[in-house]
Amino acid sequence: MTPSRSLARGLPLCDYSLCCALGADRSSARARLFEAQSGLRAAPFALPFAAPCGVVDDPLPVLPARLQAFDTRQARLALAALEPLRPRIAECVQRWGGARVGLVLGSSNAGLDTTERVHAEHLRTGLVRDAYSLRTQHAFSAVLELIRTLTGIEGPAQFVSTACSSSGKAFASALRLCAAGLVDAVLVGGVDALCEMTVRGFRSLGVLAEQPCRPFGAARPGINIGEGAALFLFERDAESELALLGCGESADAHHMTAPDPAGQGAELAMREALAAAGLAPTEIDLINAHGTGTALGDASEAAAIARVFDGGVPVVSTKGYTGHALGAAGALEAALSLLTLELGLLPESLGASPIDRALPIAVVQRRREGVFKRVLSNSFAFGGSNVSVIFGRVA
């Protein structure tokens, strides 16, 4: 085993990509984000109730013929995010060898949307189509196997599935792999495709909105579900202006589905992230909140943020643009946060106006220019599985 190595200046970011309801690539998503254009639209399947969703409406790439056994919507979303990074991944594989490049992904649904359609067909016809494979079209390992085959990555490969914190926690796993000296480069991210079970499930919990969500808004109606993928390539010794500075995790186990009203687990995750990055709360320029748009969730997170940070730190939720992408949310929202650092622009927290004045935080209600060096992004999940991730400029 290679000895552990210091990551005192963070883990350098080589490149990143995203595919979401704002667009199937980084440039289109960037344009719509800073023009305050929502990607929410009608659900792509029949439901007996209204449910705006964050749907990727652009055509998705088709898998190569030799990999058709892996063909699912989740796989195509992952491929859309993978394609822009493949040249840089190839350079890392050539430089370090495939065994020294790792892969860590997060997902909540895996290939559930495909299995839903196959099951519905079985109920209708009594048959299961020959092309369906649980291993290659439903299992979490399927997308890992697909990406490894396409890229030559041969190092440690992990899938994290902790509901809505899944891909946020993938960053923490990647940091540990690098700090332990097990890899020299790592591809990190998350991917989730829309499925009926999730939409209906949140409806059964009484938190699904029939209108566009309004995180931190006074009249917020609840959550919208979305889909997407985002990938990040990190390399230990890369020359980069941006880096993953630290991650903080907690598990408060307050309730199976409801957040802790006091936000103690969320507070601990943020404090742990700051400690890992060696930063004071005053050194954070933006908080990308979990901000789902539920009454309890937003209030709990706001209370935790207020205890950790000066009340003037700008807070944004991007779920009004993309919906809640579940296991992909942490990665997707990290990518949107990086756009803010790169461009010196804070996006409007879409749907927040009129703001809930009872919340003790500074929610961004209009696009704003400025110099932003560090962003903290939150992802909080069922069962009190919490993670906070910090990105920042190092040059």
Q: Tell me the domain boundaries of the chain.
A: 12-393
- Distance CA(133)–CA(112), nearest Å, equals 12
Catalytic residue among 20, 53, 92, 290: 290
Alpha-carbon distance values, 127 to 65, 98, 191, 196 (Å): 25, 41, 29, 21
| DSSP β-ladder status, 185-192 and 228-235 | antiparallel
Give pLDDT, residue 383.
Answer: 85
Contacts of 362 (CB under 8 A, 6+ apart): 311, 312, 313, 314, 315
Q: Kindly give the parts of the chain with pLDDT less than 70.
A: 1-8, 395
| DSSP β-ladder status, 242-251 and 11-20 | antiparallel
10 Å Cβ neighbour count for 319? 30
Tokens 């932003």 map to which residue? 372
254 is catalytic: no
pLDDT digits (tens, 9 = 90+) for 165-183: 999 999 999 999 999 999 9
Catalytic residue among 92, 164, 195, 247: 164
Q: How many residues does the chain have?
A: 395
Give pLDDT, residue 4.
Answer: 46
In the chain, which ranges are continuous DSSP H helix? 26-34, 73-82, 86-96, 112-125, 134-137, 141-151, 166-179, 196-204, 264-277, 295-308, 319-322, 329-343
324 is catalytic: yes
**386: closest CA among 374, 394, 395, 377?**
377
Give pLDDT, residue 8.
Answer: 64
- pTM beyond 0.75: the answer is yes
Catalytic residue among 14, 19, 138, 324: 324
Say which CATH class 12-393 falls into.
alpha beta
- Identify residue 186 by its one-letter amino acid code: V
C-alpha dihedral (331, 333, 334, 338), degrees to nearest 10: 140
Give pLDDT, residue 1.
Answer: 38
Give pLDDT, residue 6.
Answer: 54
20 is catalytic: no
Give pLDDT, residue 11.
Answer: 97
Q: Is 363 helix (H, G, I), strand (E, B) or coil?
A: strand
